[in-house]
Chain A
Amino acid sequence: MRFDDLLHPTPQGLYCPPGDFFIDPVAPVPRALVTHGHADHARAGHGAVMATAQTLDIMAIRYGKDFTGTRQLAEGPVEVNGVRVTFGPAGHVLGSAQIGLEHRGMRITVSGDYCRHPNPACAPWEPLPCDVFVTEATFALPVFRHPAPEGEVDRLLTSLAAFPDRTHMIGAYALGKAQRVIALIRAAGWDRPIYIHGALEALCRYHVEQGVDLGDLRPATGKDLTRADYAGQIVIAPPSAFNSPWVRRFADPLIGFASGWMQIRNRAKARGVELPLVISDHVDWPDLTRTVEELAPEEVWITHGREDALLRWCEMTQRVGRPLRLVGYEDEVPE
């Protein structure tokens, strides 16, 4: 039996023939194992979904209760048609998991998206020993060295002190990034209300229910608040909201964006961002290469992102690297 017989890419996504299931499929399939709730990994319309309790909850929040035919909670190692399946924490977003497969002495870990830097909104990454490590390569270029997120949030607070009349509006994606940014702002000592766009409400509420402390959150749509009330306040919103007339209600808005992409100046400029905050939920280059070194798998399989650079690194360090060229994933994920 070869690794390929346990897992291989298909047009619908990664498929495990002996277990007869897909992992993070991009099209509806009879049986899906889902690493986490981000849209390019978790889609509606499968026959059955197995995921962590939090990922199942998040999928229900995003897609409605009927997002799948049946659902199965991933708890501890389980056998699926003779394949031993383990969900281990990925440190990426609330509920995120890596999926380990074990069959006839062969082990493959599909890491989904993962992050090695501590995140108050989810359990930290843990190694799942494997022969094949399946990884994404979103930030797989040596130019990506994410700074400590605490320092980035300090820059936000410094800017608030320098421009006390301006509403600081920080773009952050609704699942994970928004809550992480809020938690970081709280950890930095900001105890005033933080205003959130309506698109973030359900997922923020869910984080709070799950025990993530986000402090005093208020809707950024309050009819009783005037422009002046928003001066010097923090508003968190999905980045797309900044293109809408909604922004005009705030006082001289200063637009920020929390994303790993903000490390590249031109990305920030192209988005009209005045305050780029380099805060990422993915591994940067040092953490990605360190992870591969620590796991020391026989092969590294790359799902999407900067695969050329990671393949080159594998070649330089005498590792077997293989691009899966999965379709349906964004080349540059919203992050």
Chain B
Amino acid sequence: MKAFADLLERLAFTPARNGKLRLLRDYFAARPDPERGYALAALTGDLGLRTVTPSLLRALAVERVDAELFALSYDFVGDLAETMALIWPEPDAPSDPGLTDLVEELAGAGKARLPGIITSRLDELGQSERYAYLKLATGALRVGVSARLARVAVAEFGGLDVAAVEEVWHGLTPPYRDLFAWAQGGAKPESAALAPFRPVMLSTATDAEGLASLDPADFVCEWKWDGIRVQAVSDGGVRRLYSRTGEDISAAFPDLIDTMAFEGALDGELLVRRGPEVAPFGDLQKRLNRKTAPKSLLSSHPAGLRIYDILVASGQDLRSLAYTERRKRLEDFAASLDRDRFDLSPLLHVGTWEDLARLRAEPPDPVIEGVMIKRRDSPYLAGRIRGHWFKWKRDPMVIDAVLMTAQRGHGKRSGYYSDYGFGVWDGDRLVPVGKAYFGFTDEELVELDRYVRQNTTDRFGPVRAVAPGLVLEIAFEGLNRSARHKSGVAMRFPRISRIRRDKPAEEADRIESLRALLPSEAR
């Protein structure tokens, strides 16, 4: 366990991607099977030990520590596993059980035995190992390593092509003996799984200046829809919907899965669609992150796919074809699909970049967040490769709001007042309209934190109310009507774009001007 705990510590404090990759490669080289496979599964979130809940851990902690002291500590530390690891009494001589034993013990334990097992392990482990053990048990490592990066590390360790690893990944299970055997010169594992995920092609951001040096004749353009990018794969009766990072989200979208009567893999934007009308992102949000979908929600918020691209058709891999060739195949393919659920993302008629700028400035639908620019001759490439696909997002909306509340941040900002609630004027009262916890620099964080501490008017647990004196420029991507918010509106991706020291609070925006930004049908 020491080796794994040490890996987690070092990953957490190594900021550079290359440094993290090196640590992972070294770990895979140094540790035997099945230990390294369990470590990999822990990093990719595929370990499947889902039974250890935060409330179970909290219950164990308060058997050893006063509940109030524990709550105060947790509030300060901001991470449950870390709080427990730090607060748990230290053994006189910590032991070093193997990662494999610990994982298999947790996997094999029934619900009733679990608390006892965890307690006795915490009693024997040292601080850093307690932390690693609890992170393992809760399944949320948070060491700045994405599942994708972990797979890249395996590929680099074995000198394998990352895209090839991604393709077989969904057919593999922990502790990945076959994968490590392949990495060390053995045979490539058979991709046993049907309907595998294929790495998604991503775009780089651009603007008018960036486009100037490109010839519009080499590109096609289309809208960038404001849903979530997905891959719909149907293969020998197995149907799956993947997020763009390869997470299987099928369970939340049975309505779409039911209509995937095709053989192939499509790339598109998942949207809530009612007939021809596309619903705002807020509607789609209600469908996300669910293990099941209630019937009523399926009929009130039906999912649809607006198709951008085709990767596989009837067993034939089309990814090496040029974009224009794939588009032709896609148009044929789409003709046989269920029209209520699937439609093509239309191409834009653009002669010059000025044409595109005009379209981008006045999109015909509020659920458009910009335009995409795709090179005609590009194959479908895994990842974000410069020079092929570009996105040119619509300018964000901006308002001036007044800082009203601040909350201690969790995660990276824990201990600072870093989550800010802000409001706009409604008559002579401020009405809260949103919260933001990013967009500012570290220096601005310190400035905001100091402002909060010096202007606190009231405290409610971790939240402070502050005197209305500081104006924040808030940028956001869109506005939805919301019954949950007192103001009746909810912002998308609000962030603090500037601290307006220059502006008196009375001159901040009013609720009327915010409502005017609502999409017309929601006003």
Chain B residues numbered 58-93 whose CB sits less than 8 Å from any CB in chain A = 65-66, 68-70, 72-73, 76-79, 82-83, 86-87, 90
Residues 13-29 of chain B, each 1 if its beta carbon lies under 8 Å from chain A, else 0: 11100000000000000
- Whether A143 pairs with B87 at a CB distance below 8 angstroms is yes
The residue that A313 contacts in the complex, of B69, B82, B416, with Cβ under 8 A, is: B69
Q: A263 to B83, alpha carbons, bound, how many Å?
A: 11
Please name 9 further chain A to chain B contacts, defined as beta carbons within 8 Å, in addition to the given A142-B73, A274-B15, sorted by A numbering: A142-B65, A143-B87, A144-B86, A264-B414, A266-B78, A266-B412, A266-B413, A269-B12, A275-B13
A143 close to B83 (CB less than 8 A): yes
Given the complex of chains A and B, what is the CA–CA distance between A243 and B69 in angstroms? 35
Residue from B14, B79, B413 within 8 A of A270 (CB atoms): B413
Q: Which residue of chain A has the shortest Cβ distance to B450 in the bound complex?
A: A330
Q: How far is the CB of A305 from chain B (nearest CB, A)?
A: 11
Are A141 and B69 within 8 A (Cβ)? Answer: yes
Question: Which residues on the B side are within 8 Å of A144 (C-beta)?
Answer: 86
- In the complex the two chains form, is B72's CB within 8 Å of A269's CB? no
Is B416 a contact partner of A270 (Cβ separation < 8 A)?
Answer: yes
Does B366 count as interface, using CB distance less than 8 angstroms? no
Q: Does B415 belong to the interface (CB within 8 Å)?
A: yes
Inter-chain CA distance A264–B415, complex, in Å, is 10
Cα separation A275 to B9 with both chains bound (whole Å): 10
B210 sits at the interface (CB 8 A): no
A277 nearest CB across to chain B (Å)? 11
Interface size counted on chain A using CB atoms at 8 A: 28
Query: Which residues does chain A contribute within 8 Å of B90, judged by CB atoms?
Result: 145
B-side contacts of A267, CB under 8 Å: 414-415
B interface, CB within 8 angstroms of A? 12-15, 65-66, 68-70, 72-73, 76-79, 82-83, 86-87, 90, 410-416, 442-443, 453
Residue from A142, A145, A272 with most neighbouring chain B CB atoms (10 Å): A142
Are B415 and A332 touching (Cβ within 8 A)? yes
| Residues 248-297 of A at the B interface (beta carbon under 8 Å) | 261, 263-270, 272-276
Q: Does A308 contact B (CB under 8 A)?
A: yes
B453 near A269 with CB under 8 A, answer no
Residues of A within 8 A of B413 (CB): 266, 270
Q: How far is the CA of A331 from the CA of B452 in the complex (A)?
A: 12
Knowing A145-B86, A264-B82, A266-B79, say if A309 contacts B14 (CB, 8 Å): no
Checking A261, A263, A331 against B453 with a beta-carbon cut-off of 8 angstroms, the contacting residue is A331
Q: Please give the distance in Å from B276's CB to the nearest CB on chain A.
A: 47
Knowing A270-B412, A270-B413, the reply to whether A309 touches B69 (Cβ < 8 A) is yes
Complex CA distance for A316 and B70, rounded to whole angstroms: 14
Query: Which residues from chain A contact B414 at a C-beta distance below 8 Å?
Result: 264, 266-267, 270
CB-defined contacts of B76 to chain A, threshold 8 Å: 141, 143, 264, 306
**Closest CB in chain A relative to B29 CB, distance in Å:** 16
The reply to whether A266 and B411 form a contact with Cβ atoms under 8 Å apart is yes
Could you say which residues of chain A place their CB within 8 Å of the CB of B453? 331
Given the interface pairs A266-B78, A274-B15, the reply to whether A308 lies near B72 with Cβ below 8 Å is: yes
> Within the complex, which residue of B73, B410, B416 is in contact with A141, where a contact is CB–CB below 8 Å?
B73
A264 with B77, Cβ < 8 A, contacts A145-B86, A269-B12, A316-B66 known: yes
Q: Is the CB of A265 within 8 A of B82?
A: yes
Look across to chain B and name the residue whose beta carbon is closest to the beta carbon of A271. Answer: B442
Determine if A269 and B82 form an interchain contact, defined as CB atoms under 8 angstroms apart: no
Chain B min CB distance to A238 (Å): 15
